[in-house]
Amino acid sequence: MNQIAPWAIASKPEWRRLRIRRVGSTASGSGFPPILQGRTGLELPFYKVKHLGQADSLGRLAEPDDSIDFETAAELGATVFPAGTLVYAKVGAALMLGRVRTLPQPACLDNNMAGLIPNPAIDSRFLFWAMSQIKFDYLVNPGAVPSLSDRNLLDYPLLVPSVPEQRAIADFLDRETARIDTLIEEQQRLIEMLRERRAGVIAEAVTRGIDVGVPASTKIEWLGPTPTHWRVGKVKHCGDVTLGKMLQSVDSGSDVYAPYLRAANVQPDGALHEDDVKEMWFSVAELASLNLLRGDVVVVEGGVGGYGRAAYLDHDLDGWGFQNSINRIRPHEGADGRYIAYFLIMARAKGFIEAYCNVVSMPHLTAEKLNSLRMPIPTLDEQQRIANYLDEQTFKIDRLIAETEQFIQLARERRAALITAAVTAQIDVQRAA
């Protein structure tokens, strides 16, 4: 268990060290009547584990999409938790088990959750911040369905000052975390703008070119006007499309165990992640025909939300093959794989790939569909100039996005450190204010 540092206790000797079971009373939630599923507007909000992700920066839960009346709650023997109760998941996804939230009004909880009702001598806002710094990883029972150990949680020690100081700490953290959260939100909006800018730059270049004043006409309806000297063809006119191999987990006798590329390795922005590698069996002939070389383009074949993602290989993947969730495009001599990849990234961003693959069941960008996808085809020289331009522009934008993401990560670390310092007596909030 993550213990409070002795020096923190010594810095504030008047603070008491109390286990969570001594700062409030706990109760579990109850089952929810199926007949009330999706009913809103009844007297009591009814929270489920999924609702823990719907809270403001101060931990206050949003209005849920379920509710219950007092009469039904009484029939179920359900606890009606007062406003200010700290709620948390006992069973559920590991990410949810680390979330502590606050009830903004009286409510009921489902039986996968519990509530901690603060004692009169405990400020609920202070308790929220104090519990926010707990490392829940140490309190979870591993297993197929992770669960929170009630005993470990209730035995977890907190440092508790006087009520006036609790309120001062809560006021300080409400104010300072709000400032950090506002800054983070501004940086997140900047990232959204940069991503929109990136998509716009790509779309403009692969559909209009980068030369000024070139006559244009409409050749592919969903694209709008393209330069008149560009021809219109299909992906198959730019490269050979090959679908990968179905997963094989057993050696047939003379196979090769080798790494393979799969859908998860191909990111929406055209990046290729090679740090999460899986392996399977290939025959020698399969591994030779399903190789991955510099200049190839890989395109995700299937999966909700993933199909159509494309990436350019700027280096050989020696000894790799690829799974049948991937189509490989090997460009012809007169085509640049970077231009093909940028075109596919644009087509997916504009929603065309989704419309093109729209089917009743699981959508797939099959090899046949990919081969037949219409696209504008500039000369090789112009493809290369467009690709060089986009390599330069997207590199600049991606660097700004990465720097902004790093800033956000540092701000989140600062936020977490500030909370921990305030609730463990490492800083004097009166002086820090």
Domains, the chain, in order of start with CATH, read: 6-160 (3.90.220.20), 231-377 (3.90.220.20)
Residue 163: what pLDDT? 94
- Output helix, strand, coil percentages for the chain, rounded to the nearest 5: 40, 25, 35
Q: What mean pLDDT comes out for the span 355-360?
A: 73
- pLDDT band for position 40 (cuts 50, 70, 90): confident
Residue 2: what pLDDT? 47
Give the model confidence (pLDDT) of 226-265 as tens digits. 999 999 999 999 999 999 999 999 998 899 999 999 999 9
Q: Are 286 and 226 in contact (CB under 8 A)?
A: no
Give the model confidence (pLDDT) of 190-237 as tens digits. 999 999 999 999 999 999 999 988 888 888 888 889 999 999 999 999
- Residue 176: count of CB within 10 angstroms of its CB: 18
Q: What contacts 24+ positions apart, CB below 8 Å, involve 7-12?
A: 8/159, 8/424, 8/425, 8/426, 9/159, 9/425, 11/425, 11/426, 12/159, 12/161, 12/425
More confident residue, 47 or 306: 47
Q: What mean pLDDT comes out for the span 354-378?
A: 85
**DSSP states along 284-338:** HHHHHHT-B-TT-EEEE-BSTTTTT-EEE-SS-BTT-EEBTTEEEEEE-TT--HH
Q: Which among 143, 33, 23, 162 has a CA at the least distance from the CA of 92? A: 143
Distance between start and end Cα atoms, the chain = 32
Distance CA 294, CA 301 (A): 20
Percentage of the chain modeled with pLDDT above 90: 65
pTM of the model: 0.83
Percentage of the chain modeled with pLDDT above 70: 94
- Residue 120: count of CB within 10 angstroms of its CB: 7
Residue 8: what pLDDT? 43
- Residue 320: count of CB within 10 angstroms of its CB: 20
Residue 146: what pLDDT? 76
Distance CA 186, CA 196 (A): 15
Give the model confidence (pLDDT) of 70-110 as tens digits. 988 898 888 999 999 999 988 866 667 778 999 999 999 98
More confident residue, 408 or 152: 408
Judge whether residue 6 has pLDDT over 60: no
Residue 141: what pLDDT? 76
Q: Which among 396, 325, 406 has a CA at the least distance from the CA of 367? A: 325
Burial level of 303, CB count in 10 A (0-12/13-18/19+)?
Answer: middle
Q: Which residues contact 21 (CB under 8 A, 6 or more apart)?
A: 154, 155
Residue 322: what pLDDT? 96
- pLDDT band for position 359 (cuts 50, 70, 90): low
Q: What mean pLDDT comes out for the span 362-377?
A: 91
Q: Are 268 and 299 in contact (CB under 8 A)?
A: no
